[in-house]
Amino acid sequence: MEDTNKNKGLRKQLINILSEKGINDKNVLNALNNIPRQWFMESGLKTYAYTDKAYPIGEGQTISQPYTVAYQTQLLKTKAGDKVLEVGTGSGYQTSVLIELGCKVFTIERQRLLFKKAELLFKKIKWKPKKIVFGDGYKGLKINAPYDAIIVTAGSPELPNNLMLQLKIGGRLVIPIGTKEQTMTRYVRVSDKEYSKETFGSFRFVPLLKDKV
Ligand code: SAH
């Protein structure tokens, strides 16, 4: 687990790029600046850790682009102590960003190999989720609900109703909705039965898949 001065310098440059691209939440930028992204990447790709792109992490999945991680995190509007559910642990990078922000994170991954890899990585680094679960995030994680915020990090063809039901009143769900391309969407549970909906830009995610486990 190495983090050289060169890594730190490149990270700072990446943070400047993200800020130029419109990320303006200082806490989010700080969190990304504190996390060595190379630790979450495959050994042959570590030199690209500070390029603002998504890269393969195995099993046909990717570590999200830093801009996307920052964008979604910004939309979640978390504060320290918030209970957050993440659907799609993948590399564990987004998970660590939320933990760095002081959130208590519950995270679900449906690819066994990626789940195992992330579980092992969290043993070695300082960012630890409250729980990492092998399962289908479409269903959410009822046992620990309700959540202040829920983030889906894969493209969802439809809105998973269970996730809506697992939000606190005032809770936010940030989810990319669509098949080939996704619209970043934020739902806020304004009362027991009412939700507000806002849409943001277009993104491309690997698909949220159902019924593997
Ligand atoms: N947050 C991750 C992004 C990984 S890509 C990161 O920062 O690296 C999206 C991940 O969602 C993939 O690992 C994929 O296996 C997972 N995924 C897809 N469908 C899922 C589902 N129904 N439940 C849980 N995870 C799912």
- Each domain of the chain, given as residue ranges in start order, spans 5-203
Q: How far apart are the CA of 93 and the centre of ligand 1, in A?
A: 11
Atom 11 (ligand 1): residue with closest C-alpha? 88
Atom 14 (ligand 1): residue with closest C-alpha? 88
What's the pLDDT at 212?
62
Residue of 48, 114, 209 to test ligand 1 pocket, by largest number of atoms within 8 Å of CB: 209
Q: Which residues are catalytic?
A: 64
Residues 141-186 pLDDT 10s: 999 999 999 999 999 999 999 999 999 999 999 999 999 999 999 9
Q: What would the DSSP string read from start to end of the chain?
A: ----HHHHHHHHHHHHHHHHTT---HHHHHHHHTS-GGGGS-GGGGGGTTSSS-EEEETTEEEPPHHHHHHHHHHHT--TT-EEEEE--TTSHHHHHHHHTT-EEEEEE--HHHHHHHHHHHHHSS---SEEEES-GGG--GGG--EEEEEE-SBBSS--HHHHHTEEEEEEEEEEE-SSSEEEEEEEE-SSS-EEEEEEEEE--PBP-----
Q: Are 213 and 136 in contact (CB under 8 A)?
A: yes
Whether the per-residue pLDDT at 210 is higher than 90: the answer is: no
What's the pLDDT at 1?
87
Residues 10-61 pLDDT 10s: 999 999 999 999 999 999 999 999 999 999 999 999 999 999 999 999 999 9
Q: Which of 83, 136, 72, 73 is nearest to 109 (CA)?
A: 136
Q: How far apart are the CA of 5 and the centre of ligand 1, in A?
A: 31
Q: How far apart are the CA of 107 and the centre of ligand 1, in A?
A: 10
Q: How far apart are the CA of 43 and the centre of ligand 1, in A?
A: 20
Ligand 1 atom at minimal distance to the Cα of residue 136: 23
Mean confidence (pLDDT) of the chain: 96
CATH topology of domain 5-203: Rossmann fold (3.40.50)
H or E element in which residue 34 lies:
none
Instruction: Tell me the two tokens of residue 31.
Output: 């969190």
Atom 18 (ligand 1): residue with closest C-alpha? 208
What's the pLDDT at 11?
98
3-state secondary structure of 174: strand
Strand ranges of the sheet holding 167-177, from the earlier edge strand across to the other edge: 131-134, 104-109, 83-87, 147-152, 167-177, 182-189, 195-203
Ligand 1 atom at minimal distance to the Cα of residue 210: 22
Pocket of ligand 1 (CB under 6 A): 61-64, 87-88, 90-91, 93-94, 108-111, 114, 136-138, 153-154, 206, 208-210
